């Protein structure tokens, strides 16, 4: 579907199709994490006055590079390339940018497992990027769910240190700004497992 100022945005059926195809190739719990972020962003986005369709698409597909079998910084770049190939340019930019809270490459918390050429491309991308409310929302929700559901988090994406502390402080401030507008705290918008068969029914050990 077309959204003015945002271009082509996948509808919920296309989102599900993309996730299903990626899961077939990489059947791990990345899909649960992506589902939780997408549905939470949709609910919060609506209350914030954002377009819930865009919030759902960006929140569901921000991590698609991981679904395609990549990790660390490579999953950002591969997710970006994939979504661009589908002509979803706004979600593509978010899939690349969400890993960087600032315009510095070092604000990424994981391994820089890309070529020097790609690092240069990402650096130039970050210098031009303006972080949209959708991107801040995805970053906040992704961070919240990683903290609340550590079994779904990718350990390779976590590093510690003073720099990371500053990054966490920025994300916390964004969350506080959102919660000043919202009627409830962030966790109240996260969908409960019992409310959704997909994607939990993909795993035999889920009840």
The number of distinct structural domains making up the chain is: 1
Residue 206 resides in a domain: no
Which domain range does residue 156 map to? 2-200
| d(C-alpha 163, C-alpha 169), whole Å | 10
Residue 154 resides in a domain: yes
| d(C-alpha 169, C-alpha 120), whole Å | 27
CATH classification of the domain holding 84: 1.10.3210
| d(C-alpha 95, C-alpha 78), whole Å | 9
pLDDT tens for the chain, 207 residues long, are 999 999 999 999 999 999 999 999 899 989 999 999 999 999 999 999 999 999 999 999 999 999 999 999 999 999 999 999 999 999 999 999 999 999 999 889 889 999 999 999 999 999 999 999 999 999 999 999 998 887 776 655 544 333 578 888 999 999 999 999 999 999 999 988 766 778 888 776 544
Residue 207 resides in a domain: no
* Burial class of residue 127 (count of CB atoms within 10 Å of its CB; 0-12, 13-18, 19+): exposed
* Per-residue exposure over 79-110, b if at least 16 CB sit within 10 Å of its own CB, e if not: bbebbeeeebebbbbbbbbbbbbeeeeebbbb
Residue 205 resides in a domain: no
Cis peptide before 199, with omega less than 30 degrees from 0? yes
Apex 91 CA angle, 124 and 38, nearest 5? 130
């Amino acid at each position: 579907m077309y959204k003015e100022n945002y271009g082509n945005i996948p509808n919920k059926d296309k989102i599900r199709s993309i996730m299903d195809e990626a899961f077939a190739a990489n059947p791990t719990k990345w899909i649960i994490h992506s589902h939780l972020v997408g549905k939470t962003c949709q609910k919060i986005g609506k209350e914030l006055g954002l377009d819930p369709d865009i919030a759902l698409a960006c929140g569901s597909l921000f991590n698609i590079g991981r679904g395609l079998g990549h990790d660390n910084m490579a999953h950002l770049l591969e997710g970006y390339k994939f979504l661009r190939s589908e002509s979803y340019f706004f979600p593509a930019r978010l899939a690349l940018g969400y890993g960087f809270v600032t315009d510095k490459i070092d604000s990424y918390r994981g391994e820089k497992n890309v070529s020097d050429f790609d690092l240069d491309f990402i650096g130039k991308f970050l210098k031009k990027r303006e972080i949209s409310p959708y991107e801040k929302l995805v970053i906040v929700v992704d961070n919240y769910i990683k903290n609340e559901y550590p079994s779904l988090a990718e350990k390779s994406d976590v590093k510690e240190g003073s720099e990371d502390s500053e990054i966490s402080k920025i994300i916390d401030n964004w969350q506080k700004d959102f919660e000043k507008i919202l009627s409830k705290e962030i966790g109240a918008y996260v969908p409960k497992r019992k409310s959704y068969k997909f994607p939990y029914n993909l795993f035999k050990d889920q009840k």
